[in-house]
Amino acid sequence: MSAPSPSGASSLYPPQEQSVPRPSRGSRLAGVRRRMSLPVVRRASGLLDGRNRSIFVGHGQDFSDLSLYRPGDDVEDIDWKATARNGKPVIKRFQRESNLPLVLALDTGRTMGAQAPSGEDKRDLALFTAEILAYLARMRGDTVAVVAGDAQRLVSRPPRSGSEHAEMILTLMARQLWHLDELDPLAAPASDVSRVLERVSTTFRRRSLVALVTDTSHPDASASDWLRRLSVQHELMVVQVADDLPVAPGKGRSRDVEMVHELPAFLREDASLAAEMAGADASRRSQVSALLDSRHLEHTTVTSSSTLIPALAELLRRQRLASSRRRRVI
């Protein structure tokens, strides 16, 4: 999990010139709108439509079934042919698809401050992910909530609608991530995805769409039980921000955020060591993917801001298909 060192100085996190601005900028939702084309917005927003079915009496929705008229029902819903056949007033019932609340579950552990394969800060990519999802939910009029935490810190906000609430949540997430810069590297808290998932499970009782944003080292086996519980309680999908390797010949100065000192040049340029670390990284990713697959969870890996939007759109498409299959089984 590497982070570049600007101007030859050892630094835990990447330099500030990144493609996604830092917490001091203005409206985050407006920033997403500028970066997303209208066709992409419409397609991705449509994938959030109709996550949950509810029966109600009314017009303009899909017909469901017939029911005997009860005082208080709209007389315009009476089916006169069915009424004539039954000898009693009968009304049409319709089925409406309503959307689920969105819960953003964010890993704020120290490995999130490392570098992605694109050279971008993983925190930028994690926040951009949250911004896109919040923007799409806001477009649909859905409520948005957040749980962000690690081994030492944990914050949450309840689901509410509106741009002001979404902006507040995104700003809170940014502050939690960039607070890592104020800490000594060795004192920065480790990830604790289980803790984040537990808070989601115990706080949000209503069925929701939960988006866990973490990296490719998480969630690990310690979170298995909470993954199982949330996959039943909610709709859960996982976005993993990929790590760059600290050892890669020709890539320049970098070091692992889990190490105290910068890697010396002879190690950074060691091809055999690079191959060994790449193999270990691939093995770790494979184990995490196997865990997610065993829980039948949809997940995607993000490597850069340029590929993030299509990766999220594809994830939402697969999540919707999986949700539809589960509803048919039920």
Q: Cα 52 to the chain's mean position, in Å?
A: 19
In the chain, residues under CATH classification 3.40.50.410 are 2-50+99-329
Residue 38 binned pLDDT confidence (cut-offs 50, 70, 90): low
pLDDT over threshold 50, residue 20: no
Residue 43 binned pLDDT confidence (cut-offs 50, 70, 90): low
**CB under 8 A, 24+ apart: contacts of 52-56:** 52/97, 52/98, 52/99, 52/100, 52/207, 53/95, 53/96, 53/97, 53/98, 53/327, 54/95, 54/96, 54/97, 54/98, 55/93, 55/94, 55/95, 55/96, 56/93, 56/94, 56/95, 56/96
Out of 3.40.640.10, 3.40.50.410, 3.40.1010.10, 3.40.50.1220, select the CATH number for domain 2-50+99-329: 3.40.50.410
Which one of 2-11, 207-216, 275-284 scores highest in mean pLDDT?
Answer: 207-216
Query: What is the pLDDT of the chain when averaged over all its residues?
Result: 79
Mean of the pLDDT values across residues 184-199? 88
Mean of the pLDDT values across residues 118-146? 91
pLDDT over threshold 80, residue 1: no
Question: What pLDDT does residue 140 have?
Answer: 81
**CB under 8 A, 24+ apart: contacts of 5-13:** 5/253, 5/254, 5/255, 5/262, 8/253, 10/255, 10/261, 10/262, 12/110, 12/113, 12/180, 12/181, 12/185, 12/188, 12/257, 13/113, 13/114, 13/121, 13/123, 13/180, 13/181, 13/257
Mean of the pLDDT values across residues 187-204? 94
Mean of the pLDDT values across residues 41-64? 51
User: pTM of the predicted model, to two decimals?
Assistant: 0.74
Question: What pLDDT does residue 272 have?
Answer: 82
* Torsion of Cα atoms, 187 then 192 then 196 then 197, to 10°: 180
Task: Choose between 79 and 31: higher pLDDT.
Answer: 79
Residue 91 binned pLDDT confidence (cut-offs 50, 70, 90): confident
Residue 261 binned pLDDT confidence (cut-offs 50, 70, 90): low
Mean of the pLDDT values across residues 72-77? 70
Task: Choose between 164 and 186: higher pLDDT.
Answer: 164
Mean of the pLDDT values across residues 195-222? 94
